[in-house]
């Protein structure tokens, strides 16, 4: 599962005028695709509640917010609901199958009878009504490099590389936990001092901004607290953020980096034996409330647009197939390979893959599955990852990928790798956590502070390329629902070619002193745009444009 780490001037060419009668298509004829003016008047003020909860759907030109023009596409282009329903497989953690905004859009296996402990449709999976669960009741899992060291996987050089990574991450986790305790002590000191000096228990940043004390350590603590309050709004929010960080790193230390922990023991198979099959069960529902990743991803793609509930998904005629294969930790190559094949064999046209890792001892199993998906015309949308690193660098592998060796040739044409942007247009457009690469990242899409579904009918903001990938999966589903004869390779090209080229330079976390264009850090140099994608899809479908 991908998680956040704690860390030309070019215009778009005009599209071809659409001359066919409006009665011929569900998409209205328009003269051109959207382009970004160089003198765009952008929004510099903070987003309001409605904008922040919907920004990925907004339009850069109309709303001055760098969304994907989804709402504009529905308002100006789409004349009726599509007849073609697209199955999107969420290959991820489990999905809350009972969520108010997701239950109506779940895929249901037409050949399976729920709860009779029988493989009714003969597909090799028992009771797979809404998908399949390759993890059984397991949840926590080690990271792959931890497993490599613990189990002695690979040759000596591979094990040494994994060991070095494990030692670095363990030291980092311990150091971060110690730092969190130090910060908590500083905040508590400042809080006690502020209450004493102000003579009240409740205060805001302005109250303590000008407080002065003789003790330098206490003065620094007050200044630190003032800054934290300015960012978080309240002391409770500050402490909640600290607690969240502590929980994350404690979990990482207890499970992800623990050589002695074996999360797979609850599943019962040998995850490094491809022939050891028949494990898991037909219930891809979440095993606890903390398992929120797949639910959040599914909502971005397909939450109901007309039900007046929490959010609107990108696509309006989609079925979500839940495939539970990504634990709290690193996924196993076998589960991903089997999950891809399950999705393909059971009718999915798009597989959203919001996960990734730096070590993949059985990558060939996944490569074979990617080829299987390509042969069956299935599009795979993959998150680029959240390490803020250049994937073109051979020292920064990210699995799975569509090239057998880093910077090698692409051996399939159906994998779309997505980086993340935020809602602020300008130098900070690319999310600081997002991986990038002129060869290995295809496009960028909204992925920072995206509001979506959470377990138990809740809704929250989450950030990551994990959120950018389903935004693109939603656009792909929207295209295919109106133009079902397009191939997966064509849909990929349409999304890449039709994106917005933005006349700004951005700053990357890895080298903030050197501004770059999106062309320098992605293959297309573009932000995904649903409005333009629908126009180009229509042109390609009608033979007006060849890709």
Q: What is the pLDDT of residues 459-500, one digit of tens each?
A: 999 999 999 999 999 999 999 999 999 999 999 999 999 999
Residue 79 has which token pair? 């004349």
What is the rounded average pLDDT of the residues 79-101?
A: 93
At residue 414, the pLDDT reads 97
What pLDDT does residue 177 have? 94
Asked if the model's pLDDT at residue 458 lies above 90, the reply is yes
What is the structure's pLDDT at 285?
Answer: 98
Residue 354: is its pLDDT beyond 70?
Answer: yes
Contact 155, 304 (CB under 8 A): no
Residue 239 has a CB neighbour count (10 Å cut-off) of 17
Nearest to 520 by CA among 511, 529, 531, 528: 511
Please give the Cα distance from 401 to 265 (Å, whole number). Answer: 28
d(CA 186, CA 218) in angstroms, rounded, equals: 8
Over the stretch 367-388, which tens digit does the pLDDT of each residue have?
999 999 999 999 999 999 999 9
Is the pLDDT at 69 greater than 90? The verdict is: yes
Coil, strand or helix at 450 = strand
Predicted confidence band of residue 197 (pLDDT cuts 50, 70, 90)? confident
Residue 73 has a pLDDT of 95
* Distance in angstroms (rounded) separating the CA atoms of residues 464 and 383: 8
Find tokens 């230390």 and name the residue: 253
Q: Is the pLDDT of residue 11 over 50?
A: no
Q: Are 448 and 402 in contact (CB under 8 A)?
A: no
Predicted confidence band of residue 57 (pLDDT cuts 50, 70, 90): very high
End-to-end Cα spacing for the chain: 33
> Is 325:335 a contact under the CB 8 Å cutoff?
yes
Query: 24 pLDDT exceeds 50?
Result: no
Q: Which of 235-239, 483-487, 502-506 has the lowest mean pLDDT?
A: 235-239
b (16+ CB within 10 A) / e for 313-348: bbbbbbbbbbbbbbbbbbbbbbbbbbbbbbbbebeb
pLDDT class of 406 with cuts at 50, 70, 90: low
Answer yes or no: are the C-beta atoms of 349 and 324 closer than 8 Å: no
Decide the pairing of beta strands 379-383 and 350-353: parallel
One DSSP character per residue, 383-449 reads: E--SS--BTTSTTS--BS-SBSSTT--B--S-EEEEEEE-S--STT-B-TT--B-TTT--EEEE-SS
Q: Tell me the pLDDT band of 3, cut-offs 50, 70 and 90.
A: low
Task: Calculate the alpha carbon distances from 495 to 64, 193, 374, 445, 514 in Å.
Answer: 21, 56, 17, 11, 28
Q: Residue 5 pLDDT more than 90?
A: no
φ/ψ (deg, to 5) at 321 = -100, 120
Query: CA dihedral in degrees (457, 89, 478, 300; nearest 10)?
Result: 30
Name the pLDDT band for 31 (thresholds 50, 70, 90). very low
Q: Which helix (H) or strand (E) holds 170?
A: helix 156-198
Extract the tokens encoding 275.
């022939």
pLDDT at 232 over 80: no
Give the phi and the psi of residue 254 in degrees, each rounded to 5: -75, -35
**pLDDT average, residue stretch 394-407:** 84
Instruction: Report whether 499 contacts 443 (CB < 8 A).
Output: yes
Phi-psi domain of 136 (left: phi exceeds 0; alpha: psi -120 through 50; beta: other): left
Q: Is the pLDDT of residue 207 over 90?
A: no
Q: Specify the DSSP class assigned to residue 330.
A: P
Tokens describing residue 133: 């669960």
- The structure tokens listed for 1 are 């599962």
| Alpha carbons within 13 A on the beta-carbon side of 32 | 8
Given a cut of 50, whether residue 259 has pLDDT beyond it is yes
Decide if 510 contacts 389 (C-beta within 8 A): yes
- Is 340:366 a contact under the CB 8 Å cutoff? yes
Pair 99, 309: CB distance under 8 Å: no
The owner of tokens 């589960």 is 335
More confident call, 257 vs 240: 257
The average pLDDT across 283-302 equals: 97
Q: What is the torsional sign of CA 380, 466, 367, 108? A: negative
Cα pseudo-dihedral 160, 165, 170, 175, rounded to 10: 130
Say if residues 435 and 398 touch (Cβ distance below 8 Å). Answer: yes
Q: What are phi and psi of 114, to 5 degrees?
A: -65, 135
**Highest averaged pLDDT of the listed ranges 9-23, 130-144, 193-207, 395-409:** 130-144
Query: Which DSSP string corresponds to 62-99?
Result: HHSS-S--HHHHHHHTB-S--SPPEEEEEEES-B-TT-
Say what percent of the chain tops pLDDT 70: 94
Per-residue confidence (pLDDT) for residue 7, from 0 to 100: 34
pLDDT band at 22 (very low <50, low <70, confident <90, very high): very low
Instruction: Assess whether pLDDT exceeds 80 at residue 252.
Output: yes
Phi, psi of 477 (to 5 degrees): -65, -40
Question: Prior bond to 396 cis, omega within 30?
Answer: no
Tell whether the model's pLDDT for residue 147 goes beyond 60: yes
Angle at which helices 530-541 and 488-497 pack, to 10 degrees?
Answer: 130
522-547 mean pLDDT: 95
How far apart, in whole angstroms, are the C-alpha atoms of residue 199 and residue 48? 34
pLDDT at 441: 97
Report how far residue 448's alpha carbon sits from residue 471's, in angstroms, rounded to the nearest whole number. Answer: 12
Lookup result for tokens 């909204």: 446
What is the C-alpha to C-alpha distance for residues 111 and 113, in angstroms, rounded to an integer?
7
pLDDT band at 8 (very low <50, low <70, confident <90, very high): very low
6 pLDDT more than 60: no
Predicted confidence band at 28 (pLDDT cuts at 50, 70, 90)?
A: low
Helix (H, G, I), strand (E, B) or coil at 46: coil
Residue 436's closest CA among 527, 523, 525, 521? 521
Name beta bridge partners: 500: 527
Q: Is the pLDDT confidence value at 4 over 50?
A: yes
Does residue 191 carry a pLDDT above 80?
yes
Full set of structural domains in the chain with CATH: 22-142+262-541 (3.40.50.200), 156-256 (no CATH)
As a whole number, the mean pLDDT across the chain is 90
**What pairs with residue 453 in β-bridges?**
459
Asked whether residue 224 carries a pLDDT value surpassing 90, the answer given is no
């Amino acid at each position: 599962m991908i998680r956040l780490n704690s860390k030309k001037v070019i215009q778009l060419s005009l599209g071809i005028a659409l001359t066919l009668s409006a009665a011929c298509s569900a998409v209205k004829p328009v003269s051109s695709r959207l382009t970004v003016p160089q003198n765009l008047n952008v929004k510099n003020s903070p987003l309001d509640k409605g904008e922040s909860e919907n920004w990925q759907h907004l339009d850069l030109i109309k709303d001055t917010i760098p969304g994907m023009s989804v709402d504009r596409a529905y308002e100006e282009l789409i004349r009726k609901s599509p007849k073609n329903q697209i199955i999107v497989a969420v290959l991820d953690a489990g999905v809350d199958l009972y969520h108010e905004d997701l239950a109506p859009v779940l895929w249901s296996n037409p050949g399976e009878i729920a709860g009779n402990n029988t493989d009714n449709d003969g597909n090799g999976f028992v009771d797979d009504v809404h998908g399949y669960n390759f993890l059984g009741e397991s949840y926590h899992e080690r990271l792959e490099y931890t497993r490599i060291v613990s189990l002695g996987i690979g040759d000596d050089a591979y094990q040494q590389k994994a060991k070095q990574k494990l030692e670095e991450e363990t030291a980092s986790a311990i150091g971060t936990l110690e730092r969190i305790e130090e910060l908590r002590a500083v905040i508590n000191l400042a809080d006690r001092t502020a209450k004493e000096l102000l003579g009240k228990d409740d205060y805001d940043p302005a109250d303590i901004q000008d407080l002065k004390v003789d003790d330098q350590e206490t003065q620094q603590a007050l200044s630190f607290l003032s800054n934290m309050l300015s960012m978080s709004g309240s002391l409770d929010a500050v402490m909640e953020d600290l607690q969240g960080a502590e929980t994350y790193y404690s979990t990482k230390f207890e499970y992800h980096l623990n050589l002695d922990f074996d999360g797979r023991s609850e599943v019962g198979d040998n995850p490094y034996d491809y022939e050891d099959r028949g494990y898991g069960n037909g219930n891809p529902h979440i095993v606890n409330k903390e398992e929120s990743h797949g639910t959040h991803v599914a909502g971005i793609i397909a939450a109901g647009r007309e039900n007046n509930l929490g959010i609107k998904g990108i696509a309006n005629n989609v079925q979500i197939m839940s495939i539970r294969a990504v634990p709290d930790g690193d996924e196993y190559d076998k589960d991903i390979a089997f999950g891809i094949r399950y999705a393909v064999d059971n009718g999915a046209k798009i597989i959203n893959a919001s996960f990734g890792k730096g070590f993949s001892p059985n990558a060939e199993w996944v490569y074979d599955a990617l080829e299987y998906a390509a042969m069956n015309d299935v599009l795979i949308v993959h998150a680029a990852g959240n390490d803020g690193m250049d994937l073109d660098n051979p020292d920064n592998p990210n699995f799975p990928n569509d090239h057998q060796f880093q910077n090698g040739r692409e051996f399939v044409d159906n994998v779309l790798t997505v980086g993340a942007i935020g809602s602020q247009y300008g130098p900070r457009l690319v999310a600081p956590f997002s991986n990038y690469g002129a060869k290995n990242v295809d496009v960028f899409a909204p992925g920072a502070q995206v509001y979506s579904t959470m377990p138990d009918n809740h809704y929250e903001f989450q950030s990551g390329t994990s959120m950018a990938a389903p935004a693109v999966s939603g656009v792909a589903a929207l295209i295919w629902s109106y133009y079902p004869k397009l191939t997966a390779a064509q849909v990929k090209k349409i999304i890449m070619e039709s994106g917005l080229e933005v006349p700004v330079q951005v700053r990357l976390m890895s080298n903030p002193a050197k501004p770059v264009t999106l062309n320098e850090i992605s293959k297309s140099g573009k932000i995904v745009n649903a409005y333009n994608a629908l126009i180009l899809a229509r042109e390609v479908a009608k033979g007006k444009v060849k890709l």
